Amino acid sequence: MLRLDWNALRSGDRVLVHHATEGDDVRLVAGVVTAVTPADGSNDVAVRVSTHSGQQLIRPRRLSVHHDPIGFDGHCWRCAALVPPAPAPKRRRA
């Protein structure tokens, strides 16, 4: 998330977070911003996410957070890793 968008987050905003769940499996999980503490540069943001073991309060880094709903634009390397690559188009033989 760009710093300008990050610093504009407020309590109650819905976000998507790349979060390591059980077994080091990084998933894109839905969350809600619960607290924003202003700071120089980037604000400190707390997000409540749901995991298999229940609710969890995390403080993610801004580059691992997206707005919800998300517009997949190909700029996030984590999202690109989650989507399987499209098969190459088949060539017709002449």
Give the tens place of pLDDT for each residue, 22-58. 666 777 888 999 999 999 989 999 999 987 778 889 9
pTM, two decimals, is 0.73
The CATH code for residues 3-77 is 2.30.30
Identify whether the C-beta of residue 31 lies closer than 8 Å to the C-beta of residue 43: no
Identify whether the C-beta of residue 29 lies closer than 8 Å to the C-beta of residue 82: no
- Give me the mean pLDDT over the 67-87 stretch: 64
